[in-house]
Amino acid sequence: MINNMLATPVINIKGIGPKIAENLGKKGVRTVEDLLYFLPVKYIDRRHMSKIGLIEERQRVNLIARVIRYRSLFYRHARKKGFEAVVGDETGQISLKWFQWFPQYLKNVCRKGNILFLSGEVTRFGSSLQMVHPEITILDEEPDVAEHTKIVPIYSEVEGIKQGALRKIIAQVVTDYGEDIESVVPAGIESSENLSTLRSSLFSLHFPDDYLEGGRTRSPFLERIILEEYVTFQSALLIRKREVESEKGIRFCSDGGYYNTFLEGLDFELTAAQQRVAAEINDDMVSDKPMNRLLQGDVGSGKTVCAVLAALRAVDSGYQVAFMAPTEILAEQHYLTAHKVLEIMNIPVVLLRGSLGRERNSILKKISEGAITVVVGTHAVIQQDVKFRDLGLVIIDEQHRFGVLQRKLLKDKGLTPDVLMMTATPIPRTLSMVVYGDLDVSLIDEMPKGRQKIRTKVYTEKNKDVVYEMVGKEIREGRQAYIVYPLVEESEKMELLNATEMADHLQKAVFPSFKVGLLHGRMKAEEKEDVMLKFKNKAIDILVCTTVIEVGIDVPNATMIVVEHAERFGLSQLHQLRGRVGRGIHPSQCVLVAGEKKTGIAAKRLKIMEETTDGFRIAEEDMRIRGVGDMLGVRQSGIPKFRAGDIIRDMDIMLRARKIAGTMLDQAREKDTARLKGIISKRWNNELNFSDIA
């Protein structure tokens, strides 16, 4: 049974009115259970406090002092701004100084009369003692004698409620409801894994007996809380995986004319990695278990060939194929690639997009009758009024997770196709166990023979003439180039160069003797196809474009790509764009043109691009810079927001949690699994889209 007491709304708790309840809600705290897991961000150790009059230079001390005054400073000799506050207790005064600071924050904290808890190293400036960049916390009032002997938890600030009042509310909730907390981990496994109880760990975090480095290092109590959430999450993935595997899937034929014809007609040899992955996909498809596989590989590693082979295996067996991409632009790119391959073999393929007009009904009729074998589009190809005669395989491209709700939609249509997902954004292998824990993962970790290394160099706007000279040199040597801009047209909101105006400028003023073409996402599919065909046939020397070329473009003679305003792009996107070159026999280069006023993070991204072309290392760095949620997209990746865990920091706990979750499910009886599903659904239904398994 799920404990309903923990679902009590916070507004029912003494001391919480409507406004505070609303502000707690902004922090994701809406129930008693949320309050129990509203963990301290740090602790104040008041057992070892100092008095200002007794401290000495080079000591690290804890102080409680009242603000006397503050002021802004300017040090002329160093041309540096600063901020100073003077604080005091009954024994003396000391100066606090900051040289990296947010003015409004410090002015609020250092308001005259505020009582502060301070922690830091004491240094000397002239004849006076000071603390530079101390840790600082506003206290509600002078602590009483008892408070001097405590380790006090400090919680994330909630508007409208002071720390002291918040501590009292949480302390009361822990006392009244702490015994109602139940672990998803059975007592037997808890014992065999030497785990402390969930209740005792929560209690110790809110009422520590010893100092805990909250937010910096993991205490054993915090590790137990993290493990609980990770076990719940991994259980969700494993339940999903096992339920899919228990379904009856399609057993595709193990041999076929289209499949063999395509393989025999290739003018290159598959890499060992491609052969291995193709075999893994093939094994899935010829079995009667539903395929639920992720194909992961770097830009240019040859994923498309493996996807085409999977599609042909389905077509050989008399089934239809749906190819889904996250946007219409990417769907169009895949359509251009697919129909060149498939129509040679007289396999009907169509791009299903929103602007088909009167043609749409005719196309839908042909799909329902099976006259169209391969349908390319966004996720809408399996929704709304689209009916397949025999859908056997769904292929999903970059950044689009095939969630349970889509699988449920297919089930409701009476369809149980095999599913192959692809991503050209590699992530660290340990993390892939987390993100894609409900899938089988295939990895292409080898580049095709002859794939050229790409030299990457960052230039600033003032070096634009040098960049243009480099482009001109490539064209004169018979090569081609891309120049990428972030915008299609001029924007009033952003002072950025745009593709439309720059294509005209480059043709008339910079490269009058070369042919400049324009490609962007607002063009009609036929126009895009015409431009790309001209570029591939060398009728266009320089293709000015937006990120519409990010995937699906393969022009071996293009040896240079210039990305304007490169500081505006993320690492993964820059890596994808760079992958458009280096596809032929000639050395290739990627030039990143950045503005003078780029941020420190942007500069770090660009430096990484110069240092490596390894997609896995780039993904790791991207994850460190942006965090997992921003990098992958929480909804797209299937990763929920954890209350306590940090996936990068706590990967070891995640791997342990997966092992425990597997053991739990192996030992679980039907009622145990039902209870676990209920907990998962209650905790993460909206984020994990688990509505069809609860």
pLDDT digits (tens, 9 = 90+) for 320-374: 999 988 777 778 878 888 888 888 899 999 998 766 777 888 889 999 999 999 9
Q: Which residues are 594's β-sheet partners?
A: 460
Each residue's pLDDT tens digit, 499-508: 889 999 999 9
Sorting pLDDT into bands at 50, 70 and 90, what band is 691? very low
pLDDT for 685: 60
Is the distance from CB of 627 to CB of 637 less than 8 angstroms? Answer: no
For the residues 461-465, what does the mean pLDDT come to? 89
SS3 state at 112: coil
- Give the residue among 444, 421, 330 at the shortest CA–CA distance from 378: 330
DSSP H helices in 371-424? 404-412
For the residues 253-267, what does the mean pLDDT come to? 88
For the residues 566-592, what does the mean pLDDT come to? 88
- Give the residue among 151, 576, 160 at the shortest CA–CA distance from 330: 576
Copy the structure tokens of residue 607. Answer: 């430096």
Secondary structure E strands in 454-605:
454-460, 480-484, 516-519, 542-545, 558-564, 588-594
Sorting pLDDT into bands at 50, 70 and 90, what band is 309? very high
Q: What Å distances lie between residue 541 and 547, 548, 597, CA to CA?
A: 18, 18, 31
For the residues 452-478, what does the mean pLDDT come to? 92
CA distance 64 to 51: 8
Mean residue pLDDT across the chain: 84
Sorting pLDDT into bands at 50, 70 and 90, what band is 199? very high
pLDDT for 148: 47
Q: Find all residues with CB under 8 Å of 108, minimum gap 6, and list them.
A: none
Q: What Å distances lie between residue 664 and 236, 240, 670, CA to CA?
A: 12, 15, 12
Whether 282 shows a pLDDT value over 80: the answer reads: yes
pLDDT for 617: 78
CA distance 474 to 581: 13
Each residue's pLDDT tens digit, 372-390: 999 998 877 877 688 999 9
Q: How does strand 80-89 pair with strand 92-98?
A: antiparallel
CA distance 640 to 683: 10
Whether 284 shows a pLDDT value over 90: the answer reads: yes
Whether 269 shows a pLDDT value over 50: the answer reads: yes
Whether 123 shows a pLDDT value over 90: the answer reads: yes
pLDDT for 645: 85
pLDDT for 339: 83
Diameter of the chain by CA atoms?
92
- Give the residue among 22, 4, 17, 93 at the shortest CA–CA distance from 52: 93
CA distance 7 to 33: 6
For the residues 247-261, what does the mean pLDDT come to? 88
H or E element at residue 125? strand 115-125
pLDDT for 571: 83
Whether 232 shows a pLDDT value over 80: the answer reads: yes
pLDDT for 550: 64
Q: Who wins on pLDDT, 480 or 187?
A: 480
Is the distance from CB of 418 to CB of 394 less than 8 angstroms? Answer: yes
Copy the structure tokens of residue 610. Answer: 């110069």
Whether 141 shows a pLDDT value over 70: the answer reads: no
pLDDT for 103: 77
pLDDT for 688: 56
How many other CB atoms are found less than 10 A from the CB of residue 265? 10
Exposure string for 413-424, b = 16+ CB within 10 A, e = fewer:
eebbbbbbbbbb
- The domains located in the chain, with CATH, are 4-40+159-215 (no CATH), 48-149 (2.40.50.140), 257-444 (3.40.50.300), 454-612 (3.40.50.300)
Each residue's pLDDT tens digit, 426-457: 666 667 666 677 788 888 888 777 677 899 99
pLDDT for 400: 45
Look up residue 538 and give its DSSP letter: T
Sorting pLDDT into bands at 50, 70 and 90, what band is 692? very low
pLDDT for 213: 63
Q: What Å distances lie between residue 185 and 188, 195, 198, 671, 679, CA to CA?
A: 8, 10, 9, 14, 12
Is the distance from CB of 116 to CB of 65 less than 8 angstroms? Answer: yes
For the residues 286-305, what does the mean pLDDT come to? 86
pLDDT for 143: 59
For the residues 12-25, what does the mean pLDDT come to? 91
User: Dihedral of the CA atoms 365, 366, 372, 373 (nearest 10)?
Assistant: 60
Reported for 68-73, long-range contacts at CB under 8 A and 24+ positions apart, including other chains, are 68/93, 68/112, 69/112, 70/106, 70/107, 70/110, 70/111, 70/112, 72/103, 73/97
